[in-house]
Amino acid sequence: MSAVGTCLHPQGELTIFRAAELKTEWLQALEGAGGVLELDLAGVTELDTAGLQLLMMLKREAAAQGRALRLHGHSPAVLEVFELLNVAAFFGDPLVMPLQDEAR
């Protein structure tokens, strides 16, 4: 299996309103990704539990197909939900937390 993959850059809301659309798109991308599908989450402005469930489903589906799902560029909205629900370990990807301005 090739280690060459695909990188997607979702923009805007990752919520219940887009979950069905994104599920179809992402599963197709996973099929054609070779060994790795990457999601750059820097452009995600909102993440709800439906969006989180979509990410978790994609992680499980990738594993079932012998592929890898890598998340990176976690936006503040994604980091907030991951921290609130303590799900970072499920995905296993490094999280880069933004530096807090201590001068404020």
What is the chain's alpha carbon radius of gyration, rounded to the nearest angstrom? Answer: 14
Question: In the CATH hierarchy, which fold is given to the domain comprising 5-87?
Answer: Transcription Regulator spoIIAA (3.30.750)
Structure tokens at 31: 């099929």
**Are the beta carbons of 30 and 1 closer than 8 angstroms?**
no
Q: What is the pLDDT of residues 16-69, one digit of tens each?
A: 999 999 999 999 999 988 889 999 999 999 999 999 999 999 999 999 999 999
Q: Inform me whether the pLDDT recorded for 79 exceeds 90.
A: yes
As a dihedral over the C-alpha atoms of residue 22, residue 23, residue 24, residue 30, rounded to 10 degrees, the angle is: 100
Half-sphere exposure of 56 (CA within 13 A, CB side): 14
The domain spans of the chain are 5-87
- Greatest CA separation found in the chain? 50
Give dist(CA 100, CA 102) in Å, integer.
Answer: 6
